[in-house]
Chain A
Amino acid sequence: MNKIIKFALVLLSTLGLILGTASTSFSKVEGDKIILGAAVSLTGKYSSNGVHTQNGYNMAVERINSMGGVKVGGKTYKFDIIYYDDESNPKRAAQLAERLINQDGVEFMLGPYSSGLTKAMAPVTEKYGVPMVEANGASRSLFTKGYKYLFAVLAPANLYLDVAIRTAVELNGGKGVKIAQAFEQDAFSQDVRLGILDAAKETGSEIIIDDKLPKELNDMAATLAKVKATKPDVLVVSGHTKGALTAIRQIAEMKVDVPMLAMTHCDAAKLSKQHGKNAQYALCASQWHKTLTYKDKWFKDGMTYDKDFTKMFGYAPPYQAAESSAALLVFKDAFERANSFDQKKVRDALAATDMQTFYGNIKFAPGGQNVSKPMVLFQVMCDSSGKCENKVVAPLKWASAKLIHPIPKWSER
């Protein structure tokens, strides 16, 4: 009896698999629809940012479609996206890229979340000559491989904290500063590190601590004790969300005094929500902030985007969502300029992109990275009631508050 049940189970699951994978074949443009393919992380370790990415895409699709769609060859088309869950797994992402192209017949792709997954998909889209506009892979190595069909709307990783070092040097009267840095050992964080090394070299700054944190990092006590002993001018930390959270927790616990603290991923880490006033004065690199004054005709500006997104999804948009929305605007613009669905022509139109969106200016370098949008730095600032807000402090053009420097000592807080 038991055997029969087992056999039936196996049979059923095989049938399920076959039925599940056999889908109708789409072509790139069906009726009045332009079908884009995307693999995003809906499960696995990147699932929260994967969902932000998907929400950003969906918001833009809805907005562009409701505002008249895309006009190509005198006809209007609407966007539609086929999504797959890449399970935060690079291998799976590469398979899904193959599947989207070969089985679903997709001819234009949107990027996944994270540099690692984008790296896994780019060789596939390149092989088939499928233009891919991605919004969440910033690693420098993506743009040095000579890919012709990869375009990124965001600034490359090596520029993330460059502004922080330059600001610190400026505040030091143009003289070099002492830098302590701790980076996770992954592609993205190591690229941020290279950016700091470049900035240090150019400004004559000295790197006195250069720690590499393990991927499963949850303890930075040793690094912070070294920082306490050596008293650098700037402490730089990059290790995704857990790096930012761990750093703030332990800096507060160990009462580490440092004049400037610069980090990545504070937006996603919701620093002030989890740590309250302990997060105060931290500088965070961000691709986008709602108070920036860029404009476009679909989303108007950052503040409106923030409001509309919050209404649609029930939470304020992190920059991961904003840059994902921008990717769709780039595609729309390129389709209209190419006035064709020929992949080669669309690719050339993408390469010639020069536009402003609510997210920032977009113009691609030959490597595919967006070079015309600088990173912004915001600082966590709290009022006396303990309510904290992120305020843009650099570059000065968009600053909505003055940088507080040096950070007050713990004994004075």
Chain B
Amino acid sequence: MDLLIFQAPILMVQASMDGILLGILFALIAYGMALQWGVMNIINIAQGDLVILGGYIAYFMYLYGIHPAWGVIVSPIIMYFVGIGIYKLVINKVVDRDLFISILATFGISILFMQLMNFAFGADVVLANSGYGTTMLFDNSVTLPNSKIFAAIISIIFAIGLVLYMKKSKLGRAIRATAQNARAAKILGVDTEKVYAATFGINAALCGVAGALISITFTIHPYMGLPYTIRSFMIVIVAGLGNLPGVAISGMGLGVFEEFADYILGTEFRIGSVFLLLVLILVYRRFKLAKKREYLK
């Protein structure tokens, strides 16, 4: 137990800002996961590996002298087609089966991606330098790396863009219809096969954006995908499926919660405390549901 944060309250501001910026970025990944989970009923274990692959695209642009920030445009385009490719090769064969099979299939894809990336890019930890400076607040006692702010702004732009696309475009409406009732949508003339492929592609593209942002804010490594899968999974669980504003709020909330846990309990309990919160929320939900059932009786 460390009470430093209460002795120096300015750290609370730092922790909250760090948490919110981090949370927004994670929310973007979780957003993609929620989308395809809702539409296709697939929990994508390879989510984090798609993020890392997107990061490598930005990293290679950086190596060839292009500013890695352009990765947020190039990476999603490439990743969209990677996503469609994965769908055509594997996912379309498991999309109507039960959840367990799809988890196994995406777990396999995850392992394959890790090994392929390790083979192609090597096992070194890499990062891309954006050269953005730092924003200092409150007489230099709160520091915010501009790359994190940039990452949060880009995430918000993509999220808003996607919400609008889902509402206004034909494909967006088809995706929403399929999510509500795939069979009914099919009967009414929606080509669900196409919708599924596009959904998986959009998810991969979002991962691509997030990956490019992670390469300029953190580090990337072929085996670092899993934590991103787990984080986004937790965000979706907390927010509930099909609740897109919920994803944003739960992303930020978890980010802040994590930072505070780090300060108060210590870094080693950071991830653990998030898991504990997850368990509490699930227990609470179950409790609430049970009550509702009793009421219905």
A contact residues vs B (CB 8 Å cutoff):
43-48, 88, 182, 185, 211-214, 216, 218-219, 221-223, 225-226, 228-230, 241-242, 245-246, 249-250, 253-255, 269, 274-276
Contacts and interface: CB of A to CB of B under 8 A. Distances in A.
Given A222-B262, A225-B14, A253-B134, A216 B127 contact: no
B200 to A, nearest CB: 25
Given A46-B123, A253-B143, A255-B143, A214 B218 contact: no
B37 interface: no
B254 interface: no
Given A245-B125, A254-B145, A269-B125, 6 more contacts: A214-B270, A221-B18, A222-B18, A249-B127, A250-B145, A255-B134
B4 A48 contact: no
A47 B271 contact: no
B11 A226 contact: yes
Given A222-B263, A253-B134, A255-B136, A274 B224 contact: no
Contact of A47 (B118, B214, B224, B227): B118
Contact of B267 (A44, A88, A223, A249): A223
B11 A47 contact: no
B268 A241 contact: no
A367 to B, nearest CB: 29
B115 to A, nearest CB: 7
Contact of B119 (A43, A185, A211, A250): A43
Contacts of B125: 241-242, 245, 269
A250 B143 CA distance: 10
Nearest to B128: A274
Contacts of A47: 118, 122-123
B266 interface: yes
Contacts of A44: 118, 123
17 contacts: A43-B118, A43-B119, A48-B124, A88-B123, A182-B267, A185-B268, A222-B267, A223-B262, A225-B15, A225-B18, A226-B263, A228-B143, A241-B125, A253-B147, A254-B145, A255-B140, A255-B143
Contact of B8 (A182, A229, A249, A276): A229
Nearest to B115: A43
Contacts of A218: 214, 218-219, 224, 227
Contacts of A213: 267-268
Contacts of A276: 129
What 6 pairs between A and B have smallest CB-CB spacing?
A253-B145, A212-B268, A222-B262, A218-B218, A211-B267, A47-B123
B226 interface: yes
Given A241-B125, A245-B219, A253-B145, A216 B226 contact: yes
Interface string B130-147: 000010100011010101
Given A225-B14, A253-B147, A255-B143, A274 B127 contact: yes
Interface string B250-271: 0000000001001100111011
A211 B263 contact: no
B22 interface: yes
Given A216-B224, A229-B8, A275 B129 contact: yes
